Amino acid sequence: MELKGLDFFLGVVTGVALGVAGTLAVRRVRDWLGHSETGRLEEENRTLKRRLAEKDRHIGRMLRETERLAEKLGQKETPRGKPEKEA
């Protein structure tokens, strides 16, 4: 069986058309599912959890730094250069 130029052209055009139509259909379905109330709330919940975890890490770092500075300030230098705890 011989493949003629017109048959090849029609096959390529049909394949491209089906590919574009499939891509558009999948995009619409994903947009439709992504813009549902449940989808938006789930995304907002994920975002809020991520931001809360970031804030917790930041607060932990600040607390450790504050404790370290309090320890440093709680020590007093003696004339010999040795730290001495204040009473």
SS3 state of residue 3 = coil
**85 or 6: which carries more pLDDT confidence?**
6
Q: What is the pLDDT of residues 50-59, one digit of tens each?
A: 999 999 999 9
4 compared with 47, residue with greater pLDDT = 47
Question: What is the helix (H) or strand (E) element at residue 16, kind and residue range?
Answer: helix 5-34
The answer on pLDDT for 86 being more than 60 is: no
How much of the chain, in percent, has pLDDT values that exceed 90? 53
Instruction: Give the phi and the psi of residue 6 in degrees, each rounded to 5.
Output: -65, -40
